[in-house]
């Protein structure tokens, strides 16, 4: 009987969302944890770009039959997708408790719109992510300059045969899938109900990145992360990636905004809470 009453008491508990992050919080500048989080975002994005771009360059080299490669050599598109998804899984797991494990300006933007982070933190996270991406790509170029230049430096650009609209849509939808997964996997309401959710959160996020890469590598090379696209474009510095570069900022930011609205106002009923309940009064 005691167990039943305890279970009933637990089920009856109401969950209250934590207060929204302040738009600007000057107090953050006085905390070491704030700067530690920025450093974590920088290093995580550096490692992400280093491993993934190196994987892309390696596959291009091993499958290039004009330069002693084999047509089925290397890890293939499946392996590249695993590299991106696997690194996100590892790095989110490592940094989630320090910075939240964003590693992506689009994720940061979506969380800012949902009032999960302040404007100051969001801006500095994005700067750190972009700088980390540049340094990660620069490391790859310094180790394999010839191959890096020959095979495009892992830079994102629109593939031949696809229109700008198709590329933009691919980035919007792909980023929506990623940011929607981030919101769902880190939802504090689910964490309060299911204690295993915070531990497993990096897994679905990494899988989302993996699945989106499988779908959109042939279209845009898969951006869904403006820092990833920016770092590669800066270090490679050729006209084609720069001509298409706006797609890899506009698309992810639109996708992140849609995901934030969908999760916060539709699934979490934020709009209903703001405007009042839609439930009708029962007739007696």
Each residue's pLDDT tens digit, 154-170 = 999 999 999 999 999 99
At 60, is the secondary structure helix, strand, or coil?
helix
Q: What is the pTM assigned to this prediction?
A: 0.87
Contact between 35 and 42 (Cβ < 8 Å): no
Alpha carbons 49 and 135: distance in angstroms, whole number: 8
Q: What angle do CA 259, 265, 267 make, to 5 degrees?
A: 75
Residue 69 lies in a domain: yes
- Counting the structural domains of the chain, the total is 1
d(CA 238, CA 249): 18
List the CATH number of the domain containing 238. 1.20.1080.10
Angstrom distances, CA of residue 86 to CA of 28, 79, 141, 220, 279: 32, 10, 22, 20, 44
Residue 26 pLDDT > 80: yes
pLDDT for position 10: 43
pLDDT of residue 27: 86
Q: Which domain holds residue 220?
A: 28-267
> How would residue 270 be classed by pLDDT, with cut points 50, 70 and 90?
low
Q: Would you say residue 19 lies in a domain?
A: no
4 lies in some domain: no
Residue 278, domain member (yes or no): no
Integer distance in angstroms from the first to the last C-alpha of the chain? 35
Of residues 273 and 43, the one with the higher pLDDT is 43
Decide if 274 is inside a domain: no
Share of the chain above pLDDT 90, in %: 67
Does residue 239 lie within any of the structural domains? yes
For residue 281, is it within any domain? no
**Quick one: what percent of the chain has pLDDT higher than 70?**
85
Q: Is 10 a member of any domain?
A: no
């Amino acid at each position: 009987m005691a167990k039943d009453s305890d279970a009933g008491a637990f089920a009856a508990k109401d969950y209250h969302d934590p207060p929204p992050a302040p738009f600007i919080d000057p107090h953050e500048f006085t905390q070491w944890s704030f700067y530690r989080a920025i450093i974590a975002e920088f290093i995580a994005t550096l490692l992400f770009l280093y491993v993934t771009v190196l994987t892309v360059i390696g596959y291009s080299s091993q499958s290039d039959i004009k330069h002693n490669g084999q047509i089925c050599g290397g890890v293939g598109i499946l392996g590249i997708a695993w590299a991106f998804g696997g690194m996100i899984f590892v790095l989110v797991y490592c940094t989630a408790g320090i910075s939240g494990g964003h590693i992506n300006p689009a994720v940061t933007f979506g969380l800012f719109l949902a009032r999960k982070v302040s404007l100051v933190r969001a801006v500095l996270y994005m700067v750190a992510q972009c700088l980390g991406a540049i340094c990660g790509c620069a490391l790859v170029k310094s180790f394999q300059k010839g191959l890096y230049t020959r095979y495009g430096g892992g830079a994102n650009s629109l593939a031949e045969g696809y229109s700008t609209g198709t590329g933009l849509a691919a980035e919007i939808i792909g980023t929506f899938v990623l940011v929607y997964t981030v919101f769902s996997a880190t939802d504090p309401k689910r964490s309060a109900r299911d204690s295993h959710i915070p531990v497993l959160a990096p897994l679905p996020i990494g899988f989302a990145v993996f699945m989106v890469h499988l779908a959109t590598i042939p279209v845009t090379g898969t951006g869904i992360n403006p820092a990833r696209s920016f770092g590669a474009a800066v270090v490679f510095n050729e006209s084609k990636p720069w001509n298409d570069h706006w797609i890899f900022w506009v698309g992810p930011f639109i996708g992140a905004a849609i995901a934030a609205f969908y999760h916060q106002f539709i699934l979490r009923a934020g709009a209903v809470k703001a405007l009042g309940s839609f439930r009708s009064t029962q007739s007696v």
